[in-house]
Structure 1
């Protein structure tokens, strides 16, 4: 291989090629969630306002997401009354001392095939060196409710 062959193969990509290879960035849904989060940070809300916001978000969901989110909200309220409902990135969430412990992510939010119940690092779910913090849900039955109750109780335990 000659020196000129090496030079040709090492030439930088044209600006058009570089632009086409760049990441497209955040999705429309991700940008919308970030805008909602910015609004949430600016708003000063008490527990009643937070619950009102959560119920409003749940009411806006598709029927399948709404059914699961409504039941999740009821479970959290009944089993962990010290958690305060609030929205987080436009999703129903539950906080202790201002820190999100758990949240519900509807399937429609990011156009996924299942809803998600997630826990943040303020949740006390640690088990050894690795443990799950997110759970997919396509529906919610009695067995699922029992698992969620156990998880949220553990998440707020000291």
Structure 2
């Protein structure tokens, strides 16, 4: 670890985020949305194995259940935003050499359920049950 306290993977993610902001600078409307969609699809295509399967599933689910969310990348993660704010994203296991990929929801997601609720889910396989649970979560999160 460096003296900044960030790991090499964290520094790489920050560089990716800076690049995302640079590449969309000056773009507006349909041109910006198209660029962000391309980046999201490229991020999914760059994954392999379970990471790619889960990211592709999430992309399909969001397209079907919450088409008003706009695909983009966020720190290199495939993500989906409303009014520019990320609602749901996929953090691949390969990104930080972790045991599992995570489907996460930001505070803009409408997941509130009493005094406590889940905001991320570990996903280790694509199954019918996983698909249904993700559909339900995305539908609720997207409001």
Normalising to structure 1: TM-score of the pair? Answer: 0.81
Find the partner of 1:134 among 120, 123, 132.
Answer: 120
Range that drifts further, 52-61 or 108-117: 52-61
For structure 2, the residue ranges without an aligned partner over 5 or more in a row are none
- CA-atom RMSD, angstroms? 1.5
Provide the residue aligned with 2:11 in structure 1. 31
1:63 deviates by 2.0
Provide the residue aligned with 1:148 in structure 2. 134
1:116 deviates by 0.3
Deviations 1:36-60 (A, max 9, x none): 1112223325222111111111111
Provide the residue aligned with 2:56 in structure 1. 70
Count of aligned pairs: 136
Pairing 1:47–2:33 present: yes
Provide the residue aligned with 1:123 in structure 2. 109
Classify the secondary structure of the residue corresponding to 1:43.
helix
Normalising to structure 2: TM-score of the pair? Answer: 0.90
Pairing 1:83–2:63 present: no
For structure 1, the residue ranges without an aligned partner over 5 or more in a row are 1-21
User: How do 1:90-101 and structure 2 match up within 5 A?
Assistant: 90-101=76-87
- Deviating beyond 3 angstroms after TM superposition, the runs of 4 or more aligned structure 1 residues are none
Structure of higher CA gyration radius? 1
1:23 deviates by 6.7
Higher relative contact order (Cα pairs below 8 Å, separated by 6+ residues) = 2
